[in-house]
Structure 1
């Protein structure tokens, strides 16, 4: 409960909507890295690969933008290979502008605030007050002293709060297919194409019988003549 209350207070203090279609004032509370982690549902470093603006009423406020990231290190949340995060399009409404091709340390919330109108249709959102930073291109974990575009270098306090990252999960590999089982060799094949042994034995027995019969026939004839 305390987590949600603090998140709501942060967002309410962050910006005040004056009227639909008019300018907004954004003022961020000073949060420590540990609080930024606690208020976020997803924290990661990743590269922006796409951006699209949500359709909205031309007479209303500027619709939010949905950014698609390719994470390389995940500090909080599911270690997925693609994440969509929404943000208001204008900085007076506390929108954070990401540049396609840039790499960022992103803090995204899943709390429903109603501050993004119309509804962007994605569960995660972020803004100027969340602690996002544009970091150097690459895929490794952030380290203390790493440069940040238009900001102070990464602090040791932030690195400690982030903790150990996880790489994004790759798509599950297909299970290995077992090699086909060879068909059992036939008797003829096992002897290199020669006749089976029983045929050879039977032939030998038949041949011996013929020889014996031929030998006995003259003997019987001699007996009869005598």
Structure 2
């Protein structure tokens, strides 16, 4: 009898020890990508740059974590450059353990979340059931080959549900600056015709006028004749 009682006590103790973990386990109802898009307030791809733990939670409760993402493509919501998203630390509480430096596709809900024991102080939250997944590093729109691990293609229905993304505000191409007053912008597609080009000689340079050489030749001939005449005159006097 005593041995049976001991066995019963051990079984009850084991059940009590396992029960809290079972009660706290995260169970997700399967959602298709289109439903995940509808449920989310913001959907984007981005790289985790920082994370911070929120304090002040009840004793024994793991506080939530706020992750900051540098966004590269935004599929839903405002196209901001950065997103702050809160989630529970533990996966048993449906939390997502994002890793700093890795790129993710994130589905975030807006407003209070019943999963968080503490107000995180940010508007966006996410969970293990939202549809988040790691994707290959990059900055462009998602392609089938961007699944992780390598060789795991992204489902076609996911890419269809995501649609065409937008660029974050600070990465969008900015228009060219207008020309200054009085300045005419140059057109790279047009070049001036050769006939419209004029050469401006540099001071002190350039070819001599055409009449210069005949004048010099005449002057040299005159000096030569004068010299010859003087030599003949002196020779005649001596003789």
- What TM-score range do you get, normalising by the shorter chain? 0.5 to 0.7
Larger Cα Rg: Structure 1 or Structure 2? 2
C-alpha distance 180-157 of structure 1, shift in aligned 2 (>3 A)? closer
Alignment of 1:41-190 (within 5 A): 41-57=41-57, 59-149=59-149, 152-170=152-170
Aligned 8 A contact 1:133 1:149 in 2: no
CA contact (8 A) 1:22 1:61 kept: no
8 Å CA contact retained: 1:63, 1:89:
yes
Cα distance, 1:117 vs structure 2 = 1.6
* CA displacement at 1:91 relative to structure 2: 0.3
Q: Distance in 2 between matches of 1:168 and 1:60?
A: 39
3-state secondary structure, aligned to 2:72:
strand
- Coordinate RMSD, CA, aligned: 3.0
Q: Which runs of 5+ in 2 are unaligned?
A: 1-18, 183-239
Q: CA deviation at 1:82?
A: 0.8
With over 3 angstroms needed to count, the CA separation of the structure-2 counterparts of 1:94 and 1:163, relative to structure 1, is same
Secondary structure of residue in 1 paired with 2:59: coil
Structure 1 unaligned regions, length at least 5: 1-17, 182-226
Please report how far the alpha carbon of residue 116 of structure 1 lies from its aligned counterpart in structure 2 after TM superposition: 0.8
Cα distance in 2, alignment partners of residues 114 and 156 from structure 1: 32
What SS is found at the alignment partner of 1:26? coil
**Distance (whole Å) between structure 1 residues aligned to residue 134 and residue 83 of structure 2:** 17
Determine helix, strand or coil for the equivalent of 2:36: helix
Give structure 1 regions of 4+ aligned residues with deviation exceeding 4 angstroms: 175-181
Look up the SS of the partner of 1:92 in the other structure: helix
More displaced, 138-147 or 81-90? 138-147
Give the TM-score taking structure 1 as reference length: 0.64
**Equivalent residue of 2:51, what SS?**
strand
Distance apart, 1:25 and its partner CA: 1.3
Checking the alignment, whether the CA contact within 8 Å between 1:56 and 1:62 is kept in structure 2 is no
Q: Quote the residue 2:213 is aligned against.
A: none
For residue 142 of structure 1, report the CA deviation from its aligned partner.
0.8
The TM-score, its normalising length taken from structure 2, stands at 0.61
Q: Is the 8 A contact 2:145 2:151 kept in 1?
A: no
- Alignment partners' CA distance in 2, 1:97 and 1:123: 19
Matched-pair contact (CA < 8 Å) for 2:48–2:101: yes
d(CA) in 1 for partners of 2:128 and 2:164? 25
Q: Is the Cα contact below 8 Å between 2:113 and 2:125 reproduced in 1?
A: no
Separation of aligned partners in 2, 1:177 and 1:156:
43
**Structure 1 Cα separation of the partners of residues 146 and 57 of structure 2:** 41
Would you say the 8 A contact 2:47–2:103 is kept in 1?
A: yes
- Seen in structure 2, the aligned counterparts of structure 1 residues 22 and 31 have a Cα distance that, compared at 3 Å, is closer
Residue by residue over 1:96-138, the C-alpha shift from the partner in whole angstroms, topping out at 9 and shown as x without a partner, is 0100000000000014233212100000000100000000001
Q: Deviations over 1:173-218 (max 9, x none)?
A: 7x9698589xxxxxxxxxxxxxxxxxxxxxxxxxxxxxxxxxxxxx
